[in-house]
Amino acid sequence: MPALFASESGRITDIRFWQSPEEAQIVVDISTAPRVSSVSRLKDGTLFFDVEQCVFRPGKQRYPLNNPFIEILTVQQKTSSMVRVFFRVPEGVEARTYVLPKNDRKGDRIVIFLREPQATQQQKRTATLSEIRKLKAENIKIVVLDPGHGGEDPGTQNNGIVEKNYVLNMGTLVKAYFDRDPRFKAILTRSGDYIIPLERRREIAEQLGADAFVSLHANYNRKKAIRGIEVYYESPKGAVGEAERLVAEMENMVDFGGAPSAIPATELVKKDIVEKQANIMFKSRQLAEKVESRLAGAVTTLPSRGTKRAGFKVLHSMAMPSILVEFGYTSNLADAGILKNYTCRTRLAQAVYLGLRDFLLGNIEEGLDTSYLSYIQAADERKKSLARAHEARKKKLEAEKKKAKKHLVKNGETLSGIASKYKTTVTRIKQLNGYSKKHVIKIGDTILIPAK
Ligand SMILES: [Zn+2]
């Protein structure tokens, strides 16, 4: 019997720790999908949870972490088939645990997610906001630089480049240019090796009332010959998804009251959202073009593939123009060589700074992104015509029902038998009666028979 259990057991293969200024994560890697108990508390305040059918080879290990989020972590083989994970957090720290299923990049994991106390979060937020208000009053432009990936998510890894580290370095270099220019304040979404959810990255920029948002990345392609810089801004399709999400969100809010109006509230909200989004996208294009034209000339041996549009989640903002820069392809040997060269890196960083400066201090044109508007219109038309077709089908069915004969099901009758008796088909009978594919008729049922 024990042998049987052993083959079914999971094994803890690694324990990793990530920390940002606001939160920390402990990631426990497991060889199979774990069965985890809910978190309990010991009398002395220590928290713990159990992982069933699991083996921890070292038997017992203590990790004295002693940082603002967690004091100590202990992992212990409690019984032959159960591992208990103990942890102590300072007062006020929020702790949540998740089980993350394996995907194509990572195995099964248990994640302990720790966040600084609410009060501290609030204090920091208030302090930042009052500083930002001061900057805005002095007409200082706020730029948010977003080094992609981080922590658990390394991004692409090729030819000696790990994207998360590379873009953090690039972000720091770009910020250094802004720090020397008193007309700007640049803020990084992350300043260390930790992950930030995509929505949080743009929320940071939105909360700061940023004038521009730039996400920094390096690209990868299986075709190693592909190379060059790309500057992306929001695509109509990506924006439509976001507009729909917002409308749905507002719709739920509207449901909780409010006076009825001649035009449904969601229509007004949608029009407003679409216009705002179209205006931001119009400006994002200008920002993308300015940054691309600076980047294209920054390193003569590094070609530019121009500006492009894509539905990247991190770009779905209606608050400020947003772009995503891919500095080159790590999968291409020539690009990788250039990206690793310090002189080239400073030139690329300077180009991003200059492009943003050109945009923020230049004349930003007002207007609406017409391709987005026509995309929205086409999507609306498609929806309306689908609704019309559905309505027509319903009407036709109603008319057929009125003309239909009725049949009372008797013992031993089958749907196919009835169909052949009335010289019609099973499919037509099912359609008319609204039966599902698997529907079974019973004795005594009255069924509608299509008229010829
Ligand atoms: Zn990336």
Quote the ligand 1 centre to 148 CA distance (angstroms): 6
119-368: CATH superfamily = Zn-dependent exopeptidases (3.40.630.40)
**Predicted confidence (pLDDT) per residue in 149-162, tens digit:** 998 888 999 999 99
Residue 336 alpha carbon to ligand 1 centre in Å: 14
For the chain, the farthest-separated pair of C-alpha atoms sits apart, in whole angstroms, at 90
Nearest Cα residue to 451 out of 396, 395, 394, 400? 400
Query: Which has more confidence, 26 or 267?
Result: 26
User: Distance (Å, rounded) from C-alpha 402 to C-alpha 421?
Assistant: 20
Give the torsion sign (CA, 386, 392, 398, 403).
negative
| Residue of 61, 58, 63, 84 whose CA lies nearest to 73 | 63
Is-contact 215 315, C-beta < 8 A?
Answer: yes
How many A from CA of 429 to the centre of ligand 1? 55
How many whole angstroms from 326 Cα to the centroid of ligand 1? 8
**Dihedral over Cα of 266, 268, 269, 272: its sign:** positive
Q: Report CA-CA distances (Å) from 421 to 36, 43, 426.
A: 59, 77, 11
pLDDT digits (tens, 9 = 90+) for 66-93: 788 999 999 999 999 999 999 999 888 9
Please report the pLDDT score of residue 238 as a whole number.
79
What is the average per-residue pLDDT within 237-246?
A: 73
195: left (phi over 0), alpha (psi -120 to 50) or beta: beta
Separation of 218 CA from ligand 1 center, angstroms?
5
What average pLDDT score do residues 15-35 get? 88
Fold of 2-116: Immunoglobulin-like (2.60.40)
The per-residue pLDDT for range 418-437, each reduced to its tens digit, is 999 999 999 899 989 988 88
Cα–Cα distance between 376 and 411 in angstroms, integer? 56
Residue 4 has pLDDT above 60, yes or no: no
Please report, for the chain, the start and end positions of each structural domain, with discontinuous segments joined by +.
2-116, 119-368, 404-452
Share of the chain above pLDDT 70, in %: 92
Section 123-138 average pLDDT? 90
Question: Tokens 């990790």 — which residue?
Answer: 63
- Identify the CATH number of the domain defined by range 404-452: 3.10.350.10
Q: How far is the CA of 310 from the centre of ligand 1 (A)?
A: 13
| Cα 376 to middle of ligand 1, angstroms | 28
pLDDT for res 289? 98
Expressed in angstroms, the distance from the first to the final Cα of the chain is 68
Strand-pairing partners, residue 406, are 448
CA of 237 to the centre of ligand 1 (A): 20
Rounded to two decimals, the pTM is 0.76
Give 255-293 pLDDT, tens digit per residue: 443 344 444 556 667 788 888 999 999 999 999 999 999
The residue type at 166? Y
